[in-house]
Amino acid sequence: MHFRTRRNVIQLIRTTYDAEKKRGVNAVVGTVPLGQPELPAELQQQMTPQEVEAFGAWVQTQWHMRQLRHELAALSLPETLALASAWFEQNAETTSARSVAEEIAQQMQALRRVLKNKGLLE
């Protein structure tokens, strides 16, 4: 079994060998919300004990590491923005600065929207 992160869910994918095709065939067994990766009882019944254990191991490593990356990104964002500001001041006339500036502005608007919706900004 392997796991694939898609948008806001984790897909649980089982690979079985297909003798006619002479290769493995992937089948999605189920999905689990990414925000709260706990196996529902009905999904757990469809899985072998080894698959349940593999999901637990995945959550302990990959999901936890993803959460830590998100936290690090949020906590280091003020410093990163200051560094980016300095870079843009020095490189404002370059094509690199122009190409990335619009994408940054869009992401900043999205961040501001989230902060406002969660009550973190007035």
User: H helices of the chain, where?
Assistant: 41-45, 49-58, 64-91, 95-117
Residue 94: predicted pLDDT: 94
- As a whole number of angstroms, the distance between CA 78 and CA 15 comes to 43
Q: Which amino acid is it at 82?
A: A
- As a whole number of angstroms, the distance between CA 122 and CA 115 comes to 9
Residue 7: predicted pLDDT: 87
Predicted structure pTM score: 0.67
| DSSP helix/strand/coil, 9 | strand
Confidence of residue 22 (pLDDT cuts 50, 70, 90): confident
Q: Once rounded to an integer, what is the mean pLDDT over residues 13-28? A: 90
Confidence of residue 122 (pLDDT cuts 50, 70, 90): confident
Residue 120: predicted pLDDT: 95
- As a whole number of angstroms, the distance between CA 61 and CA 83 comes to 31
Output phi, psi for 106, to 5 deg. -65, -45
Tokens for 121?
């900004």
Residue 116: predicted pLDDT: 96
| DSSP helix/strand/coil, 77 | helix
Q: Is the pLDDT of residue 18 over 90?
A: no
Query: pLDDT, tens digit, for every residue of 48-82?
Result: 999 999 999 999 998 899 899 999 999 999 999 99
Q: Is the pLDDT of residue 86 over 90?
A: yes
Q: Is 1 exposed, middle or buried (0-12, 13-18, 19+ CB in 10 A)?
A: middle
